[in-house]
Amino acid sequence: MASVLLGVEGLRVVEADAEPDGSLTVWVVTDHPGAAACPDCGTCSVRVHEHVLARPRDVRRGADEVSVAWLKRRWKCGNAGCARKTFTESLPAVPARCRLTGRLRGLAGAEVAERGCTVAEAARWQRVSWPVAHQEFARQADPVLERPPSPVAHLGIDEHRRGRPRWRADEDSGEYVLLADRWHTCFFDLSGDQGLLGQVEGRTADDAAYWLAQTAPAWRDHIQVVAIDMCSIYASAVRRMLPGARIVVDLFHVVQLAVKMTGDVRRRAVREKYGRRGRSGDPEYGVKGLLVRNLEHLRPAQFAKIMDTLGADWHGQEIAAAWIAKEKLRDVLNLRARVTGSTPGERDVHDRLFRFYDWCAQHDDIPELVTLARTVSRWEQEIVCAVLTGVTNARSESLNRIAKLEARKAYAFRNPANQRRRVRIACTRGTRRRQNMPARRSRLVTGRQPDPG
């Protein structure tokens, strides 16, 4: 019974002592038919040379430590022609010369791969060295990560910074020169749940194209939509490597751009009006928080406050024009099925987009508005496609957050390959967990219900 509780195949418990400090000493002997076989010639020995005591480290019992005392036999090899004279017993669970049981190593690796501990933390708790925990983690992680990805219909591309940019002061001019600014470009599965598909160092079009070129042509042909941030670099890489895929830009970034434009106009108008930056007490300052909200989320009183404040003078009207432009752009994006609950028509999208352009043209004395309209028109095709397909880069951003969190937990990585391995295993953990769980009825999220009013 005690041997079953210990659970190491080939070890039989003969005695167990509870120590005063709460730890447990378990005395075991070998109980395995293969243990007496010579590792060189395979002959089973019958002559014992001596007894030795080994203390392989094993997993904890709860929070308490267990010390295993293994009375091993050293056998004499029965084969006269064998070069090896004597050998000690070894088991698959505790290989020869190993001071750790296999399950302790496995647990240290699994804590990193499946529980999200850092290597240092897992090593500390399991009382193994950092290299042992890392080696075991890599052994478990690599086969999982090397599997070729399943076909993906919607691909997401995003980037995150690796570490901090490094600067150096130039001796002649005194100006700062950028020494290193390291980035990772990441590829995400937006339609399935494979999470992070791969990463590549750098963030140029060539870097992104390099990763795409390494995938199988059939896999590339399967991609229908690629979601990117408003970044022309990735767009050119996608056009080069995935000519059949449609590009969509993430609509969050479009709205973000419009909100930023409203703020820019407000700051400039306030500076022109007062000759200084805005401060609490200015009427424009009082509505700055309301201007970044969605129109449909404003209470009537709040809406009236904006109109009263901005209608007072010419500077306010300029801010109001920018704010209305933001809402007209949002009107375009709000046609997507996630908001309305029905498939948008391409003509409606173009109609609303025309109204936005028209508004910007009527207020072409506001330079920020013209810039926004130019940017939107440059990305028009991708924005329309995003509204029609409803594909967003939201999942990429959420996985990017995990990637950044992983780097923070590790207090930054020195080795980019280790970073990529740790980040990818972290960004696919949810997928693996779901695969191992019994099938559950999935709940389809169709988004916000259409407003009955």
Residues making contact with Zn ion (CB under 5 A): 38, 40-41, 77, 79, 82, 84
Q: Other CB atoms closer than 10 Å to residue 42's CB: what's the count?
A: 11
CA dihedral 271, 273, 278, 280 (to 10 degrees): 170
CB of 137 to Zn ion, least distance (A): 36
- In sequence order, the 6+-apart residues with CB closer than 8 A to the CB of 7 are none
CB of 56 to Zn ion, least distance (A): 23
Residue 128 backbone phi and psi in degrees, to 5: -120, 170
Type of residue at 363:
H
CB of 45 to Zn ion, least distance (A): 8
- In sequence order, the 6+-apart residues with CB closer than 8 A to the CB of 229 are 158, 249, 250, 253, 393
For 246, the token pair is 């449609």
CB of 28 to Zn ion, least distance (A): 25
CB of 30 to Zn ion, least distance (A): 18
3-state secondary structure of 329: helix
- Cα within 13 Å of Cα(346), Cβ side: 5
CB of 80 to Zn ion, least distance (A): 9
Nearest CB to Zn ion, comparing residues 79 and 140:
79
CA angle 220/223/225 to nearest 5° reads 140
CB of 131 to Zn ion, least distance (A): 32
Measured over all CA atoms, what is the biggest interatomic distance in the chain, rounded to whole angstroms? 107
Nearest CB to Zn ion, comparing residues 40 and 351:
40
Nearest CB to Zn ion, comparing residues 80 and 301:
80
Nearest CB to Zn ion, comparing residues 23 and 79:
79
Type of residue at 379:
W
338-344 LR contacts (CB < 8 Å, sep 24+): 338/390, 338/446, 338/447, 338/448, 339/447, 339/448, 340/450, 341/446, 341/447, 341/448, 341/449, 341/450, 342/450, 344/387, 344/388
Nearest CB to Zn ion, comparing residues 78 and 163:
78
Nearest CB to Zn ion, comparing residues 36 and 77:
77
Rounded Cα–Cα distance for residues 161 and 70 (Å): 50
Q: Which of 192, 228, 198 is nearest to 213 (CA)?
A: 198
One DSSP character per residue, 330-384 reads HHHHTTSHHHHSSPPPHHHHHHHHHHHHHHHHHTTTSHHHHHHHHHHHHTHHHHH
CB of 151 to Zn ion, least distance (A): 53
Q: Other CB atoms closer than 10 Å to residue 315's CB: what's the count?
A: 19
Nearest CB to Zn ion, comparing residues 40 and 346:
40
Cα of 8 vs its chain's centroid, Å: 37
Nearest CB to Zn ion, comparing residues 40 and 221:
40
Nearest CB to Zn ion, comparing residues 38 and 212:
38
Nearest CB to Zn ion, comparing residues 41 and 417:
41
CB of 52 to Zn ion, least distance (A): 18
Q: Which of 54, 33, 58 is nearest to 45 (CA)?
A: 33
CB of 97 to Zn ion, least distance (A): 17
3-state secondary structure of 298: coil
Nearest CB to Zn ion, comparing residues 82 and 298:
82
Type of residue at 345:
G
CB of 53 to Zn ion, least distance (A): 24
